[in-house]
Amino acid sequence: MKITLKALPKFYKTSPNVVKAFDKMRFEILDKLDEDSDEDSEFYWYAREFPRYYRYHIDNVEFRIKKIHSLYELHLKDFLKEKSKIEKSEMYERGIYNTYTYQIYWEFEALLNALSASLDILSRISGLEFEHQTPLSLNQLSKKKDLNGVVDIFRKAKQDWIDEMKNLRDCFVHYCPIDSMPTIIFYKTKTMWKIWCKLPTNPNIRVVDGFKYSRNLDLLKYSYKLYSNFKKLDEEVANYLLELYDKKEFPKRVNNLFLIGQRQK
């Protein structure tokens, strides 16, 4: 019976869509900048730097997904060494624990943190749709009932997938890991062997003994799903902001953009 890993997703060939959108804006601004005027000059540098911060975190996300996939491959190699013996024994499930099993979860936690950081940068640069300063985090921005536009896009994404992702992150970062001795499970179906790295379906319980699991929720596949959802959000926000820009409705703030959130002590 065969066993295969799902192939890596298609990563960005160059930059995320939001970065490309801001590149378009700043290059057009550069062509119009008057050497004797500072108008729009701050936004030009902002449109260069903050999308780069955003891309930095997305590059991290892609790196973590590649690492998780490679660690799955290592566990698969270990299983294949025993596969014939396991099948002769009519075993239907085999758990594998190695020194690098922990690394899968370490990489996953790093992925969640990088994705959370990228979402906050995305909300920050999108906040220039509004005349007044908006919250820097996506979570706080989405709570502003008086704001619509790009905030509606964020609210839908939060409901569809971000809140679930944040629940996992908060559990692992602030409360407890998945297990004190995580194990990769190989199990047999009617037609093939499958690999399963478990995640809790109820992370808000925040205690290891209370976690529940489903084989429909596998860490690698979930990582792919997060990345796919993020790419859709990136494209939707980029298209929306470019539409506003073409109508000369973005950005509505072009000054005092870099010092926002700075602490004085």
Using one digit for the tens of pLDDT, what is the confidence trace for 112-130? 999 999 999 999 999 999 9
Helices (H), 98-162: 101-126, 138-142, 150-157
Q: Give the three-state DSSP class for 198.
A: strand
Rounded CA-CA distance 247/228 in Å is 29
Task: Determine the pLDDT at residue 190.
Answer: 86
Chain segment 139-178, per-residue pLDDT in tens = 999 999 999 999 999 999 999 999 999 999 999 999 999 8
> Using alpha carbons only, how large is the chain's radius of gyration in Å?
22
The residue ranges of the chain whose pLDDT is under 70 are: 33-39, 260-265
Is 101 within 8 Å of 95 (Cβ atoms)?
no
> What pLDDT shows up at residue 169?
96
pLDDT, residue 40, reads 73
Whether this prediction's pTM lies above 0.85 is answered by yes
Q: What is the pLDDT of residue 31?
A: 77
88 exposure class (CB count in 10 Å sphere: 0-12, 13-18, 19+): exposed
Phi/psi for 4 (5° steps) reads -135, 160
- Helix, strand, coil percentages (3-state) for the chain, rounded to 5, are 60, 10, 30
